[in-house]
Amino acid sequence: MPQQPTAKAAALPEGDPAWERTLRVLWVAQLLAVAGMSLILPILPLIVRDLGVTDLAELQRWSGLIFAAPFLSAAVMTPVWGWVGDRWGRKPMVVRALFGLSIAVFCMGFATTPEHLLALRILQGMISGFIAAAIALVSSIAPHARLGYALGYLSSSQAAGIVVGPLFGGVLADLVGFRSLFFVTAAIELLAGFAVLRWVREDRATRPISRSSVFSNARYAMRGPVLVALVGLFLTQLAILLVQPFFALFVESLGVARDRLSSTTGFLFGATGLAALLAAPRWGAVGDRIGRRRVLWIAFIGGSLVFLLQAVTRNVPSLFALRFLQGVFAAGMLPVLYATIASHSPEERRAGIVAFGSSATLCGGLVGPILGGYLASGLGMRPVFVFSTAAFLLAGLNTLRLPPDRKPGEPPLRHRMWELPTQ
């Protein structure tokens, strides 16, 4: 007579036993991809100046356009790539995005005018979509009970890349020059693509093929919990990036000398990234245990208080502590919102729906710095932190519209937050 499964064994989630390895490979690939792109961004104005733009006002305009261009084109194209991924596989979309980024960035190394660089940055946004594709792939292979943890773990690599990229970018630019930096970045993206191609596995035979269109995906995303999460993603990114345009000037207003301004600003940015790196997997695990709506409410309330305190801080040590806390609470926002979208999307069209989350995030990243710059010029820098506080509070109230994501009486998961769970 066959042995009956124990209650403990029956409670184990179903899923591909290799999903942990795939998650780790994607973590490394995303770290390489984000770090590679972050090599360039901090010195982008210097690159534009190297292309012959010397007038300060014109340099600022070109830098803003070239910085924002990929956000706009990616926001438009990411849902299309998500739809393609639902039909022909999520892994091919991850590989396509990485190889496409490598080609676009490689070509930037040969740009001779700001117009060339702008066109290539637009192309970069059009053929990207790596993060949305990676989220969709992980959400399709991770057991449902571990989804929040898996996406939190994955998102921590973005924070790591944002910390590592600018640090090495400045050093490499001094050593090898601006143009060579594009070739280094292209090589990093290519390496990440080959890593995914070689070690990531996707079993497409067991997944239903989507017959939906981009427009039907849009209609689905514009209602219910998915719409709540999309609004949350937009408001979160907008609130965080409202202070981005003038943050270095705000640090200077605290009495930091100009010869230490760049390093101090980088140190403060690094504190936020390090905190997000450490906290993201823990937030995801907590969300799997107590419910994502509670986690989001805690994170948004905490984030609003942190930004409100930044509006009144008067010294660098207190700002450092608040920036660290900002990273802790921010890590409980974006990954958990993406997990909400994935858990409320049909499996056969998950990539297409998650892609709209990426578009909402990109739109927040596009609107936030522009709006923050205008607010700071008209009201001063400190009031903008209050606007970020208000945006977080609005996002927190918005999460109250989410339904509970655990059934009443369902026992919480018992895996420890800092460990990658196994089957």
Residue-wise pLDDT tens digits, 329-347: 998 998 889 888 988 888 8
217, pLDDT greater than 60: yes
pLDDT tier at 227 (50, 70, 90 boundaries)?
A: very high
pLDDT of residue 170: 65
Tokens of 154: 């994955």
Q: Mind listing the pLDDT tens digit for each residue in 256-293? A: 887 777 677 777 877 888 888 888 888 877 877 888 88
Lowest mean pLDDT among 110-124, 126-140, 158-172: 158-172
Q: What is the dihedral of CA 147, 152, 154, 155, to 10 degrees?
A: 140
pLDDT of residue 206: 55
Average pLDDT over residues 375-393: 91
pLDDT of residue 63: 78
pLDDT of residue 408: 39
For tokens 């780790």, the residue is: 24
Average pLDDT over residues 90-98: 92
Burial 18-48 (b: 16+ CB within 10 A, else e): ebbebbebbbbbbbbbbbbbbbbebbbbebb
Q: What is the pTM of this model?
A: 0.77
Q: What's the whole-number average pLDDT of the chain? A: 82
- Does residue 369 contact residue 237 with C-beta atoms inside 8 Å? no
Nearest to 150 by CA among 233, 273, 272, 27: 27
Q: Give the whole-angstrom CA distance, residue 128 versus residue 75.
A: 10
pLDDT of residue 204: 64
Average pLDDT over residues 176-183: 83
pLDDT of residue 405: 57
Q: Which residues lie closer than 8 Å to 3 by C-beta, 6 or more apart?
A: none
403, pLDDT greater than 50: yes
Q: Give the whole-angstrom CA distance, residue 304 versus residue 239.
A: 9
pLDDT of residue 407: 45
Enumerate domains of the chain plus CATH numbers.
15-202 (1.20.1250.20), 211-404 (1.20.1250.20)
